[in-house]
Structure 1
Amino acid sequence: MTSTTNRPARPRSLGDHTWRDQAVCQSTEYNPVDPEIFFPDPDETDKITEAKALCGQCPVRRVCLDAALEAGDADGIRGGLTEEERGPLHEKIAHRLDYSRVNDTIAGRDIHLTKAERRAVIRAAYRHGVTEQRLAWLLKITEEHAQKRYRELRRALRNRDLNQPETATASSEAGIERLGRDDFGTAA
């Protein structure tokens, strides 16, 4: 499943709420906003329309939606979506895999990661030779837990390599030349 979305330039760090200062829903002297419009009853379509119109103008709408999904907020309109519209997204959040978040984590930023993103961080860290101590620091886990994750990954990679069929012998027996990944250079 691929989708195009407007992602923030950088993912929100853990505990970072500074994005709220840029939100259109923040009431100010010059922009009074009634917070009640973001918590309408399902039949209050005027309030829903008004809240979504404000969200449509918001520069941090995506960050707001991410924060709502990551925190499990099920009430009100957040990120331009109603509770019912966010429901399926809440179910899928554990499977989200955003490589910009993975790369930011490897670079040392504290990012709220999904299960899929945590697995990708472990795999990327292993591939790049990141030490177990550094992995433990990145994921906020113990060194023993990081060692266990690396052991599990090494085992999975070894088993994957063992389970791959021998295509070279089968193709040579059939008299057909098969091209491998290395035959295409670095772009493949």
Structure 2
Amino acid sequence: MHSATTHEPRTLGDHTWQNQAACHTTPHADPELFFPEPDEIDRIRAAKTICAQCPVRRTCLDAALENGDRDGIRGGLTEEERDALHSKLAQRLDYTRINATLAGGDVHLSRAERRAVARDAYRAGIPADQLARRLKVTVEHAKKLYRHAAREISHRNTKTKPKATRTAKAAPITPARTPVRTDLGTAA
């Protein structure tokens, strides 16, 4: 079983993860087991037991959410349990996925993750043409994402300054009086 820290994000169009799924590798696992009626508690429990042992459980859940799959048990969750996740998918912020994209991976990202990739790429000084390739957008769009990232970073920096320094007028800067040194000894 893979831990959450070793999760490899699913790449676009990659379905090879399914060959590792416990529902495919468990002998005599009936595919219908994963499509129970809401009141079939024993079948739900049995399917979730198989999912709990699955090395690609998180990838399965990601695929179900990204594809809008609302039927059956996927990633160890029932249709009802996934409902809230479907509505929050656009705000998903998984740094495993962000880092995989920054490293050149072809990962399906949420809107929040795409913004984070642009912001992190901007901070890292990655050229706009490389960001465009990683996000599969035009260079012009990548430049626009960089402008948004620059504003966001600037806005965050402004918010973190103490309130007094943002609102108070700056006091005139007077040069500090440098003490006059008449005894110029040598440093030991």
Give matches, 1:90-129, under 5 Å.
90-129=86-125
Tell me the TM-score normalized by structure 2: 0.78
Quick one: distance in 2 between partners of 1:57 and 1:157? 41
- 1:128-180 deviation per Cα after TM superposition (whole angstroms, max 9, x unaligned): 1111111110100011111221223334444555675453996x98xxxxxxx
Larger Rg: 2
Quick one: distance in 1 between partners of 2:155 and 2:39? 55
Quick one: distance in 1 between partners of 2:52 and 2:154? 49
Aligned match of 2:65 = 69
Residue 46 (1) aligns with residue 48 (2) = no
Identity of aligned residues (%): 58
AA matched with 1:39: F
3-state SS of paired residue (1:137): helix
Unaligned runs of 5+ in 2: 172-188
Change (3 A) 1:119 1:33: same
Change (3 A) 1:71 1:94: same
Aligned match of 1:16 = 14
When structure 1 is superposed on structure 2, of 142-151 and 117-126 the one drifting more is 142-151
Quick one: distance in 2 between partners of 1:9 and 1:151? 31
Of the three residues 78, 83, 86, the one matched with 2:79 is 83
Tell me the TM-score normalized by structure 1: 0.78
Equivalent pair of 2:60/2:75 in contact (CA under 8 Å):
yes
Change (3 A) 1:166 1:19: same
Structure 1: which 4+ aligned runs deviate by more than 3 Å?
155-166
Quick one: distance in 1 between partners of 2:19 and 2:84? 28
When the two structures are aligned, how many residues end up with a matched partner? 166
RMSD, aligned α-carbons: 2.5
Quick one: distance in 2 between partners of 1:159 and 1:168? 12
Unaligned runs of 5+ in 1: 174-188
Aligned match of 2:23 = 25
3-state SS of paired residue (1:52): helix
Equivalent pair of 1:96/1:117 in contact (CA under 8 Å):
yes
Residue 57 (1) aligns with residue 53 (2) = yes
Equivalent pair of 2:12/2:107 in contact (CA under 8 Å):
yes
Quick one: distance in 2 between partners of 1:13 and 1:112? 6
- 1:33-54 deviation per Cα after TM superposition (whole angstroms, max 9, x unaligned): 2111111111122211111111
